[in-house]
Amino acid sequence: MRKLDENKLAKLHTAGELLDRKYGEIGTEFRTSFHEKSIAWYYGEILRDRRKELKITQ
């Protein structure tokens, strides 16, 4: 079994930490704005893919 390097593991960050650093803590205006835009983009992608599957346009 391969042994993990503890020094490298200590440098890893969670997704939440990266989002906090880039967009601010949860509850801040900038983070809330980012979240709203990301949700809108996500649902837009789902709708676009579904329209392609059904071969329909807007």
| Per-residue pLDDT, 34 | 97
- pTM score: 0.69
Residues in the chain: 58
List CB contacts of 33: < 8 A, sequence separation 6 or more: none
pLDDT digits (tens, 9 = 90+) for 1-54: 888 899 999 999 999 999 999 999 999 999 999 999 999 999 999 999 999 999
Residue given tokens 């807007």 in the structure block? 58
**Cα separation, 15 vs 19, whole angstroms:** 6
One-letter amino acid identity for 29? E
